[in-house]
Amino acid sequence: MVLLDLYSRFERTHDYAMARGWLIFTAMVSSLGELILL
């Protein structure tokens, strides 16, 4: 049961890291697009 708890906690932090990575990636792409448009 401890292993299962550790796994679920890891999965949650992994999802958070992925979401944060996508947010940073989207921000970079949009800023690059603005630079190209300007």
pLDDT in tens, 18-35: 888 899 999 999 998 888
pLDDT at 31: 92
Mean pLDDT of the chain: 83
**What does the alpha-carbon distance between residue 24 and residue 16 come to, in Å, rounded to a whole number?**
12
* pTM (predicted TM-score): 0.53
> Containing H/E element for 27?
helix 2-37
pLDDT at 1: 61
pLDDT at 5: 83
User: Cα-Cα-Cα-Cα dihedral of 24, 19, 13, 9, to 10°?
Assistant: 180
Among 29, 32, 33, 9, CA closest to 21: 29
Task: For Cα atoms 17, 14, 10, give the angle at the middle one, nearest 5 degrees.
Answer: 140
